[in-house]
Amino acid sequence: MYFSARIITAVAAIMTTTAVSACSSDPNGPSDPGTGNTRSAATVLDSALGIGTSRVEIELFPGELVAREVHVEADDQEEKIVSNVTAIDPGQGTITLELGGLTVSYGAGTRFRTETESNESRGAWETAVQGELAAGRRPLIEARRNPSDSPQAPDDPAFVAADLRLGDGADEPKIEIYVDDDNLESVSGSSNAVLRVLGLAIEVNGLTQLGEDDDGNGAGQAGGSSVGFEMGVESVDAAAGTLTLSSGTVVRVTSATSISPEGDLFTLESTADAVAAGLPVRAEGRGTVESAGPPAVISATSLKVEVDD
């Protein structure tokens, strides 16, 4: 069902032409680096994209709708927005985000979390957010939801959070969402492209770093490459210092691994207990590929473990 390479291949093809287009005699489109022939971004997209869906992670420059990085992520069961909150309306059940002024809705089915409580009441959570705003701060929020059967229409801004997490400190704005070829647009007279999601027109240009974080299994090539992972945990071997993701990828946890305090579980032993109890445990982080496998092995540099109960 998923053709993750298509989206990133299309965008990467556009960006590969950026440096060449400056030397092209035709200012209306990028040049084919292999032939010197001028091609429009639309042509690149038409040739690279097909029917399929990909989950992309878009990291943005703070305060701008410009992508700093675009990565194809392994398939996951959630979509996510990370941004700072500029306003909250408890009566309407909405928060407004710094990221493009997006409005995220919440309600009776939403789970609320703070730094110290993984199942906070709605009222206490709203009070915490209001307190941060009243103090002149813009608290960091992580909003998650389950994806629908097909990607959301590019101009549809609706996002109803199944999980709202009030964080601490600063983080770059980020969107993780399923897209298809409808979300990518060429820019007339430019080698740039637009990735349109949640009603936001996000610019992809020569500053954007592009690539696939993995091959769909949570790991890439061996040889020290850095990858991200975010997936359910299938099993844990606390004695060996490893956990196995639902894809089969093995994540090695060492004394050098930074365990996020924003998670629900902080040791392999407690993670093993949760998995043994049948709880839906998820691991998210980054690491270095030790082996392409199978099974692939990642040595985690950072790790956050959560229970999605």
Domain annotation for the chain: domains and CATH numbers:
4-74+178-212 (no CATH), 82-171 (no CATH), 226-307 (2.40.50)
Do the strands 140-145 and 79-89 form a parallel or antiparallel pair, or are they unpaired?
Answer: antiparallel
Q: Could you list the pLDDT tens digit for every one of the 309 residues in the chain?
A: 333 444 444 554 544 444 333 333 333 333 333 333 333 333 333 333 345 777 888 999 888 999 888 877 655 668 999 999 999 999 999 999 999 999 999 999 999 988 778 789 999 999 999 999 999 999 999 999 988 888 999 999 999 999 999 987 667 899 999 988 888 887 776 778 888 999 999 988 877 776 654 444 444 444 555 677 888 899 999 999 999 998 889 999 998 898 888 788 889 999 999 999 999 898 988 888 888 778 889 999 999 998 876
Task: Report pTM.
Answer: 0.66
- Say which DSSP state 267 is in: S
The type of residue at 303 is L
Contact 47, 17 (CB under 8 A): no
Sequence-ordered alpha helix ranges (H) in 140-298: 268-276
